[in-house]
Amino acid sequence: MKFDVSFYSATGDRTNNEDAVAVKKHGSALVAVCADGLGGHDNGEIASKTAVNCILKALRHQPISKTVLEHGIETANLAVLERARGSEMKTTVSVVWFDGDKALIATVGDTRVYVFRDNEILFQSIDHSVSQISVMAGEITADEIRGHKDRNKLVRVLGNKENVKSDITEYTPKSGDALLLCSDGFWENVVEDKMLESLSFSRRAKDWLRVMRLAHDANPDGDFDNHSAITLLIR
């Protein structure tokens, strides 16, 4: 299985970038990680980078399994707690791990993972946020999360307490699939219809990402937080 990959991370209108992204390939495996740090004053930047590095290290040369991935996220959580030392730094994280014909998707927080197949959304991760709970309660629609007053209130993050629960999903990749990992600063300004439209006329991962970034930057109502994304096309 071959991958066409592109990624970026930008500061937006903020003073520093607390997002972190990485894509690493080793042997037949590929791991993509996107994290959005919380805490301000550079603390979020430390948290996100700590989480990304810990997860990459934990998965390297390991057989793909939910247990290994869960343990990697737990290790990252403890590392963020250790680095915090009384500060408020925390981070979200999303992970996609491929090895051969198998793949796993994991998320904590509201850094999303999308899987697109045949011009449709095959999978979309669930945000761990107060606004997502409002969706589940039938109080708002999923589309209304972007403008909801509680969209930034998270109920699950790394660095909050010693135990963390991640959502882990098995995924069977197929040639032609497209994946997007992105922080809330990205998806709040790029709606799903634009993701699909951009994908429909993009032959390369970098082209798809470029068009979505143009849509992000052109949003007249955008609040330009740090914004980061990873695009993967499976060949």
CA-CA-CA-CA torsion sign (49, 51, 104, 199)? negative
- Return the DSSP state at 40: S
Q: How deeply is 182 buried, as exposed, middle or buried, from its count of CB atoms within 10 A (0-12, 13-18, 19+)?
A: buried
- Length of the chain, in residues: 235
Backbone phi, then psi, for 115, in 5-degree steps?
-125, 125
Alpha helices per DSSP H over 40-144 = 43-59, 66-84, 130-136
Backbone phi, then psi, for 142, in 5-degree steps?
-60, -35
Per the CB < 8 A criterion, the answer to whether 229 and 180 are in contact is: yes
Per-residue model confidence as pLDDT tens for the chain (235 residues): 899 999 999 998 888 999 999 999 998 899 999 999 997 656 899 999 999 999 999 999 999 999 999 999 999 999 999 998 878 899 999 999 999 999 999 999 999 999 999 999 999 999 999 999 998 999 998 888 888 888 789 999 999 999 999 999 999 999 999 999 999 999 999 999 999 999 999 999 999 999 999 999 998 776 788 999 999 999 8
Query: Which residues share a beta bridge with 123?
Result: 115
Structure tokens at 154: 């998270």
Cα separation, 106 vs 112, whole angstroms: 9
Backbone phi, then psi, for 160, in 5-degree steps?
-90, -45
